[in-house]
Structure 1
């Protein structure tokens, strides 16, 4: 059993960190270290972690200091410093508000024994709230799209709360220290490794399904999507065009349907295709109950997605973890 490292960046996660660490402690794969980076948390995160990891010799907590390297800010700074502290070949990354499945590591390691360099699982927000369920459905759709492109060997992105990579590939690109700063550090790392010859794998099944916290309100949702756009808009010009088209097409078609039913039919057919697409993807991860929230996801995308893009183009500032970037 090869020893691996799990790294976690923590900033003000007192309400979720215990759940995250408990699931990691209960992993069936036992040969691992956990490196936790405290990124100047202003709450009780550090004390909670210190108490939890006491008498757990494979859990380590580090206070992360600011870097003079302009490429290292926020989470990228945490990850860069933690990666420097491990000698293990395989590095897993998750977030402090995320919990993973018991067999998480085994299911990833099956593919590291092959040719793959960076591997991504599936993550969904988990909540009993109405808005949280809508977000879960939205994430399932996003991962489904990424999975389709991956099957065509077209690399889109990885996700920073459910991914793993070979440290050798990380060092080949010079690490985060050599990459331009990005608010989507997972996308940046993924694209850099793939462009340098690394092989990628997107897993889409219930064995690699992790759960995270949804955003609490529309304002936070817009900020999260805006941060994602910083990465997504840099994938490819054509993909950027498709994102913009997807964001505005719904509301435009509905407005045009006022003049002729033809555009309303196009909108309806498009939503029907989305519904079938989601059905087959949700079936893979046993989350079919989320389909009940599809009408509300459609409304959200039609009404709010254009606002995300307008905010992205008109106001480049992003608030993330209490910091302004």
Structure 2
């Protein structure tokens, strides 16, 4: 009982600190008037169903078209991705399609496409996103405002939409990225997210580019790690002006493939984040440990956890100018509990990691 008292005292104490930090928050950067030329890089493989949505959102950016260079790299797609892109960009000179068919150095898959696109880019700022993302109109100038001299990498925030399953994934994105932002604001380098990221050319070239790095299936975390090691600054934003909306994983099986790849990258995460999420996950084990607590105490503690978690999500949603029903926010707790167990189990299974219709062994990543 003493252990339980200490555990829950620390758990809810930390949660209160996190909520206070979330409310205070670091002020979002104010966009300046300068509009430097930027290169937007998109790696695409078998994205015929999604990529036009992404390209349409980039057409609606509040940024001078003549200052945009949008490079799409087709990664040997076996569907009509290249044809869809070619039709869309036919009369849009700021767009360019590159067919990626050979490797640069040690790069493979997505990192190989980005290596090619970075070599083709002509600007000093690379904005990297995925083909299944839709970006907001003020994305470019807000990301640039967070990258003064000395900052090498900036990460925006992501969510997902669609049906209830997709919205749960969207809350997952917001929950995790908001925690990462809080730790980053404390000065701890945590990670970047490759579907919504700015990298300066100087920072990218200081590490030799993707072609000089050992292959990783979590290429965004790897890039961030190497850039920070070179002494570059970093910034994570939770702001509606940089909120990208991803197409959610359509099935539980697809989601498990994605999460297994992410779990491979957890070994590279700083102790602050892995420790915080690990401690958060221990809540279920301790609160439901047989005969440790009375049913009334279990219900009280579990209810307090759901209340604080819902408050966290409500504040985060407000910061990114999104809304969600209370019913969905409460359901998220049960989605989180079930998916946490299932993802751990699936990660431990001796099956390959599937990513963009390619298979990788666990040791490869």
Aligning the two structures, in what range does the TM-score lie when normalised by the shorter sequence?
Answer: over 0.9
Greater shift in the superposed pair: 76-85 or 289-298: 289-298
Query: How far apart, CA to CA, are the structure 1 residues paired with 2:276 and 2:348?
Result: 16
For structure 2, list consecutive stretches of 5 or more residues without a partner in the other structure: 1-34, 361-365
How far did 1:54 drift?
Answer: 0.9
Number of aligned positions between the proteins: 323
The counterpart of 1:167, out of the listed 198, 201, 208, is 201
Equivalent of residue 281 in structure 1, options 312, 316, 326: 316
Task: Name 2:229's counterpart in structure 1.
Answer: 195
From 187, 191, 208, the equivalent of 1:157 is: 191
Q: Matched residues in 1 for 2:272 and 2:237: separation?
A: 24
Alpha-carbon distance, 1:156 to partner: 1.4
8 A contact 1:5–1:90 mirrored in 2: yes
What SS class does the counterpart of residue 288 from structure 1 fall into?
A: coil
**Deviation of the 1:301 alpha carbon:** 2.0
If the length of structure 1 is used for normalisation, what is the TM-score? 0.92
Residue among 21, 24, 28 paired with 2:62: 28
Q: By how many angstroms is 1:233 displaced? A: 2.9
- Indicate the residue corresponding to 1:116 in structure 2: 151
For 2:195 and 2:224, how far apart are their aligned partners in 1? 13
Q: Is the 8 A contact 1:254 1:267 kept in 2?
A: no
Q: Which residue of 2 aligns with 1:80?
A: 115
Q: CA deviation at 1:44?
A: 1.0
Residue 249 (1) aligns with residue 283 (2):
yes
1:59 equivalenced with 2:95 (yes/no):
yes
1:3 and 2:41 matched: no
**In 2, distance between residues paired with 1:230 and 1:80?**
22
CA distance in 1, matches of 2:328, 2:205: 43
Shift of 1:26: 2.0
Q: Is the 8 A contact 1:119 1:202 kept in 2?
A: yes
Partner of 1:155: helix, strand, or coil? coil
Distance between the aligned counterparts of 1:308 and 1:247, measured in 2?
12
Specify which of 207, 210, 227 is matched with residue 176 of structure 1. Answer: 210
Q: Which runs of 5+ in 1 are unaligned?
A: none
1:222 matched residue in structure 2? 256
Residue 97 of structure 1 and its aligned partner are, at CA, apart by 0.6
Could you tell me the TM-score, scaled by structure 2's length? 0.83
Q: 1:258 deviation in Å?
A: 8.2
User: Do the aligned residues in 1 keep the contact of 2:60 with 2:137 (CA within 8 Å)?
Assistant: yes
